[in-house]
Amino acid sequence: MGDKVISLAVIRRLPRYYRYLGELLENDVVRISSKELSERMHVTASQIRQDLNNFGGFGQQGYGYNVEYLYTEIGKILGLDQQYNMIIVGAGNLGQALANYGDFERRGFVLSGIFDVNPRLEGVAIRGIPVRMMDELEEFIQNNPVHIAALTIPKTKALQVAQDLAGLGVKAIWNFASTDLHLPEGVVSQNVHLAESLMQLSYSLRNLEREEGKL
Amino acid sequence: MGDKVISLAVIRRLPRYYRYLGELLENDVVRISSKELSERMHVTASQIRQDLNNFGGFGQQGYGYNVEYLYTEIGKILGLDQQYNMIIVGAGNLGQALANYGDFERRGFVLSGIFDVNPRLEGVAIRGIPVRMMDELEEFIQNNPVHIAALTIPKTKALQVAQDLAGLGVKAIWNFASTDLHLPEGVVSQNVHLAESLMQLSYSLRNLEREEGKL
């Protein structure tokens, strides 16, 4: 792979390729043509060839792609060949839902701590991990390197907590609060904005009704 | 507004504008220039002008945008000027987290039912709404029109349940299962793929480390 630069648009599509390739692997599929993959993924074969050409000449005429090789290489690009320690800040329903996803762990995202401000949650164990109070956060991070913090807290608290985490050396914030975190250089974030996702759905629904002439 | 066609790229950005404009409204801001808005949103003023020009000439030189008007118009485009009845299928942590978001209701997404297959959850009330069993789904939908179904169920069940819902007349699926739902014409869906979001974050983190020369 070396230092080849891959466009952001391709990068954004990689997790989806990774998921499909993972499913093929689970079904013991050894190789697949761009045509077959395109039919499964509902994108054009030419898009797939263009995207995957970034990973060298693994799509050979008459052979197709080596599923395991491609899966592994895409995994490396996505940083999935290493383990990350993750904490969850906010042990409400959403935080608990994230904590209970065993799937993340399988991909190398290891949950190491859960934090909240609610004293009634103190010590409650989620998948064996006790909820700790926020005033233990600093000491915890000093003793247990944290790569990623998921923020499942109200939007009014999110920026301050994210800044505090950045100050403690956490470099990646997975933000579920309905606000954009403008963080210092050297800290990355990824948003999951549920309300915005739901608005896109209502737009599509409205559009469908428009097309069907119901409005 | 009429029948003006707005590009998909702009549509995707609208929920974010809607959120910022909503916050401005809450803070009693009556008008805002594209420059001020661009500074808040961390996008260029020219991008904002281009995007919002789709909504007519509301950005007047020397005046800026009328916040309430723009908020209302974008809301209409997004279909937020009507009420939607929503059900949640899957009453695990994630389903419960969605059920507990009062914010969705404020935007017009009214939770009318929660369903699960787990008999231990039967009748348990979440925000006053009792969890019903899946075999009650058909009758429920016949008696209570459902616009949107959120699927917070395992990926192995998601497609079948989505198809069943489509068969019962539900036109919009908000899919949290880690799979793509290829649904019949006339049914729209929006995915929230948490694992893919986390992979994008690990990509960004890896990339940051590469830039900082730590790899």
Is A21's Cβ below 8 Å from some Cβ in B? Answer: no
CB spacing of A19 vs B195 below 8 angstroms: yes
Quick one: pLDDT at residue A1?
Answer: 45
> Is residue B204 one of the residues assigned to a domain?
no
Instruction: Read off the pLDDT of residues B80-117 as tens digits, 9 standing for 90 and up.
Output: 999 999 999 999 999 999 999 878 988 899 999 999 99
Quick one: pLDDT at residue B2?
Answer: 46
In 3D space, the residue among B200, B163, B197, B194 whose CA is nearest the CA of residue B89 turns out to be B163
Instruction: Read off the pLDDT of residues A137-174 as tens digits, 9 standing for 90 and up.
Output: 999 999 999 999 999 999 999 999 999 999 999 999 99
Same-domain pairing of B89 and B68? no
> Is residue B207 one of the residues assigned to a domain?
no
The whole-angstrom distance between A57's CA and the closest CA on chain B is 22
Angle between helices A45-53 and A8-26 (to 10 degrees): 100
Strands (E), B33-159: 65-66, 84-89, 109-116, 125-126, 129-133, 148-151
Average pLDDT, chain B: 91
CB spacing of A190 vs B201 below 8 angstroms: yes
Same-domain pairing of A93 and A183? yes
Contacting residues of B for A192, CB less than 8 Å apart = 192, 194, 197
Does residue B197 have a pLDDT over 80? Answer: yes
**CATH number for the domain that contains residue B70:** 1.10.10.10
> Is residue A208 one of the residues assigned to a domain?
no
In 3D space, the residue among B13, B21, B10, B22 whose CA is nearest the CA of residue B106 turns out to be B22
* Chosen from B153, B201, B208, B209 to mutate, greatest number of chain A CBs within 10 A: B201
Tokens of B40: 């808040």
Contacting residues of A for B12, CB less than 8 Å apart = 200
Instruction: Read off the pLDDT of residues A43-57 as tens digits, 9 standing for 90 and up.
Output: 999 999 888 888 765
Same-domain pairing of A53 and A91? no
Rounded Cα distance between A9 and A51, Å, is 9
What's chain B's length in residues? 215
Quick one: pLDDT at residue A4?
Answer: 62
Out of B77, B147, B201, the one facing A188 most closely (by C-beta) is: B201
CA distances (Å), origin A91, targets A58, A143, A186, B31, B152 = 44, 21, 27, 38, 19
> Is residue A35 one of the residues assigned to a domain?
yes
Does residue B35 have a pLDDT over 50? Answer: yes
**CATH number for the domain that contains residue B147:** 3.40.50.720
Tokens of B168: 């019962």
CA angle centred on A43, ends B169 and A71, rounded to 5°: 115
Same-domain pairing of A51 and A139? no
Quick one: pLDDT at residue A58?
Answer: 57
Quick one: pLDDT at residue B55?
Answer: 72
Quick one: pLDDT at residue A133?
Answer: 98
Burial class, A211, CB count within 10 angstroms (exposed 0-12 / middle 13-18 / buried 19+)? exposed
Rounded Cα distance between A93 and B98, Å, is 8
Instruction: Read off the pLDDT of residues A87-130 as tens digits, 9 standing for 90 and up.
Output: 999 999 999 999 998 789 888 999 999 999 999 999 999 999 99
Quick one: pLDDT at residue A160?
Answer: 97
Same-domain pairing of A117 and A176? yes
Strands (E), chain A: 31-32, 65-66, 84-89, 109-116, 125-126, 129-133, 148-151, 172-175, 188-191
Instruction: Read off the pLDDT of residues B55-80 as tens digits, 9 standing for 90 and up.
Output: 765 556 677 889 999 999 999 999 99
CB spacing of B192 vs A190 below 8 angstroms: no
Chain CA centroid to CA A175, Å: 11
Is B71's Cβ below 8 Å from some Cβ in A? Answer: no
Contacting residues of B for A174, CB less than 8 Å apart = 197-198, 201
Rounded Cα distance between B56 and B35, Å, is 18
Is residue A16 within 8 Å of A41, Cβ to Cβ?
A: yes
Chain CA centroid to CA A81, Å: 14
Quick one: pLDDT at residue B1?
Answer: 45
Same-domain pairing of B70 and B100? no
Same-domain pairing of B15 and B88? no
Quick one: pLDDT at residue B64?
Answer: 85
Average pLDDT, chain A: 91
Domains held by chain A: number:
2
Boundary of a domain, candidates B31, B61, B77: B77
Rounded Cα distance between A186 and A200, Å, is 31
> Is residue B202 one of the residues assigned to a domain?
no
Boundary of a domain, candidates B22, B56, B77: B77
Same-domain pairing of A115 and A146? yes
Banded model confidence at residue B6, pLDDT cuts 50, 70, 90: confident
Domain that holds residue A61: 8-77
Is residue A23 within 8 Å of A83, Cβ to Cβ?
A: no
Same-domain pairing of A111 and A45? no
Instruction: Read off the pLDDT of residues B15-34 as tens digits, 9 standing for 90 and up.
Output: 999 999 999 999 999 999 98
The sign of the torsion formed by the CA atoms of A130, A134, A135, A137 equals positive
> Is residue A173 one of the residues assigned to a domain?
yes
Rounded Cα distance between A137 and A5, Å, is 37
Quick one: pLDDT at residue A197?
Answer: 96
Same-domain pairing of B103 and B184? yes
Same-domain pairing of A43 and A107? no
> Is residue B157 one of the residues assigned to a domain?
yes
Rounded Cα distance between B186 and B121, Å, is 32
> Is residue B215 one of the residues assigned to a domain?
no
Is A93's Cβ below 8 Å from some Cβ in B? Answer: yes
Same-domain pairing of B113 and B33? no
Burial class, B190, CB count within 10 angstroms (exposed 0-12 / middle 13-18 / buried 19+)? buried
Quick one: pLDDT at residue A67?
Answer: 93
**What mean pLDDT is predicted for residues B177-201?**
95
